[in-house]
Amino acid sequence: MKKRLLLSTLLVSSYSIANPCLETQPALNYVTEGERYGTLKATELSVQQHADLLSLMKNLAGQWQGETLGYSCVGSDSSPQQNSFAYTVSLNFAQPTPMRLQAKLDAANQHQRAIRHNQLTLIAKDNVLRVDETNDAGNMQIDALSNQQLNSWSLSRSGVVSHALKRDIQLLGRQLVVTTTVYSNGRLSSYHQSKLNRR
């Protein structure tokens, strides 16, 4: 267990090189010019992207299990700090219709205490991919899409705090890598990377 925690700490520490705490959020494509925390412009899917998305959703369907490493950012702008973590995770993708994918993630810490239950729904309708909502509030900005990969941005809000979530999903044979980077009010606030194997 000590070796695993040490390895987790080393891996999480290395994230800080690529993603320093409180770094500024990259520019996104908003509906209104110059808008910082609003609605993203919907990415209209091409015929090829629609086919790739259908294939990707089909390939993701099922149960996956593995580990998540990451960190959350705390402290002031002048002295940001990383709180690292490691979870064991179980991820289930259900596909009730060909262009709808529902993800449910359960995570537990090293003492096997449940700590997180996240749910997410990807919905493709009218040549637009959205997350959780079928209206503009669920719009996603797609940076890359193939039958093995989806790199996207979406927005959410918690009270007065706006979040921009960068999600990178990549299939590597029977392994799935899901990376989520969260920017809160324009500054990086957390980073998670899950490496999962099909059950």
pLDDT of residue 36: 60
Q: Which residues fall within 8 angstroms of residue 28, CB to CB, at 6 or more apart?
A: 40, 141, 153, 164
Quote the pLDDT of residue 62.
96
Those residues whose C-beta lies under 8 Å from the C-beta of residue 117, and which sit 6 or more positions away, are 104, 105, 106, 107
Please answer whether residues 143 and 153 qualify as being in contact, where contact means their C-beta atoms are separated by less than 8 angstroms: yes
Q: Three-class SS string for 157-181? A: EECCEEEEEEEEEEEECCEEEEEEE
| pLDDT tens, residue by residue, 10-20 | 344 444 344 58
C-beta atoms surrounding 103 within 10 Å: 18
| pLDDT of amino acid 31 | 86
The pLDDT score that the predictor gives to residue 181 is 97
Q: Which residue reads 């919905």 in tokens?
A: 123
pLDDT given for residue 76 in this prediction: 78
Angle at Cα 198 formed by Cα 177 and Cα 47, nearest 5°?
65
Q: Which residues of the chain have pLDDT under 70?
A: 1-19, 33-37, 111-114
